[in-house]
């Protein structure tokens, strides 16, 4: 009878080699992707359109190549009910903010429910995209790159808020929400309910904060070059048009008030 002896050091070495290779790939994917996002936010037209398309293509490509699985990425509907309370809590907070804005006379909403849907359907999609980027593209890679979950959550939160500079409203809001979203994602592994809460918070800010204060929720170069629209109606109702023209105007104009 012949016995084959396997050196455990060889096994560990192979595992470390594979782990090191995955970490290098994660770092490369994250660095290039986040760099392209920042370039898109801070680059004027017509280059912004190019960086937007390249960033989108890069995120889609590395997501397919480095696919972590539907459950790990929180893209299954099976866990939605357990975390649905997050969207409910967001609704309660939004209702309180709307009530306060009504008292302060800063509330501006479309006149009819159909108009509300027309103006905000695009932002709901954009909210899901942002949560996907934060949780599936950034956080999952940082969890493999950094030594523990706490460091990964803090780093992802910082990167998320950094992408919303120099907006004085969105930067602190995304700092708090980004931290909460990462913790909730690790607890429930569901992107959909977090995207719902994100959409609720974003629309709430849009209809309660005057456009001249947050520059219609623009970020980056879009915030610095913002010019108030010629009419009040324009400043409040035009998000759908901005979404439809996102390739032309750049993603820095996407998270805007219902009319930016």
Whole-number Å distance between alpha carbons of 24 and 46: 33
Residue 147 burial (C-beta neighbours within 10 Å; 0-12, 13-18, 19+): exposed
Residues of the chain scoring pLDDT < 70? 1-18, 230-260
What confidence score (pLDDT) does residue 230 get?
A: 64
What confidence score (pLDDT) does residue 105 get?
A: 92
What confidence score (pLDDT) does residue 18 get?
A: 59
Q: Flag whether 242 is in a domain.
A: yes
Per the CB < 8 A criterion, the answer to whether 69 and 173 are in contact is no
What DSSP letter does each residue of 128-175 carry, written as one string?
Answer: HHHHIIIIIIIIHHHHHHSSSHHHHHHHHHHHHHHTTTT-TTHHHHHH
Question: 203-244: per-residue pLDDT in tens?
Answer: 999 999 999 999 999 999 999 999 887 654 444 333 333 333
Q: Flag whether 235 is in a domain.
A: yes
Per the CB < 8 A criterion, the answer to whether 25 and 140 are in contact is no
Structure tokens at 142: 């940082």
Question: 237-258: per-residue pLDDT in tens?
Answer: 333 333 333 433 334 444 444 4
Q: Flag whether 1 is in a domain.
A: no
Q: Flag whether 188 is in a domain.
A: yes
What are the residues whose beta carbons fall under 8 Å from the beta carbon of 197, sequence distance 6 or more?
86, 87, 89, 90, 181
Q: Flag whether 210 is in a domain.
A: yes
- Cα separation values, 147 from 108, 151, 182, Å: 46, 7, 16
Q: Flag whether 41 is in a domain.
A: no
Find the domain containing 210 and state its range. Answer: 69-253
Place of tokens 């997050």: 86
What confidence score (pLDDT) does residue 115 get?
A: 82
Query: Domain count of the chain?
Result: 1
Q: Flag whether 9 is in a domain.
A: no
Q: Where are the alpha helices (DSSP H) in 43-83?
A: 47-65
Q: Flag whether 245 is in a domain.
A: yes
């Amino acid at each position: 009878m012949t016995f084959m002896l396997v050196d455990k050091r060889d096994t560990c070495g192979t595992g470390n080699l594979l782990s090191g290779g995955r970490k290098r790939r994660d770092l490369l994917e994250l660095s290039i992707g986040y760099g392209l996002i920042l370039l898109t936010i801070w680059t004027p037209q017509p280059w912004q359109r190019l960086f937007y398309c390249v960033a989108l293509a890069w995120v889609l490509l590395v997501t397919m190549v480095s696919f972590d699985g539907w459950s790990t990425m929180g893209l299954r509907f099976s866990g939605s009910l357990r975390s649905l309370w997050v969207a409910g809590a967001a609704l309660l907070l939004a209702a309180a903010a709307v009530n306060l804005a009504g008292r302060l006379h800063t509330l501006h909403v479309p006149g009819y429910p159909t108009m509300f849907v027309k103006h905000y359907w695009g932002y709901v999609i954009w909210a899901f995209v942002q949560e996907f980027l934060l949780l599936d593209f950034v956080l999952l890679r940082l969890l493999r790159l950094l030594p523990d979950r706490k460091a990964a959550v803090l780093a992802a939160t910082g990167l998320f808020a950094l992408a919303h500079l120099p907006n004085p409203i969105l930067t602190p809001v995304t700092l708090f929400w980004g931290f909460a979203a990462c913790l909730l994602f690790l607890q429930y592994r569901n992107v959909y309910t977090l995207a719902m809460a994100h959409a609720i918070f974003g629309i709430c800010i849009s209809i309660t904060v005057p456009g001249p204060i947050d520059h219609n929720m623009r970020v980056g170069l879009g915030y610095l070059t913002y010019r108030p629209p010629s009419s009040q109606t324009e400043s409040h109702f035009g998000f759908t048009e901005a979404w439809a023209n996102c390739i032309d105007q750049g993603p820095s104009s996407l998270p805007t008030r219902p009319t930016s």
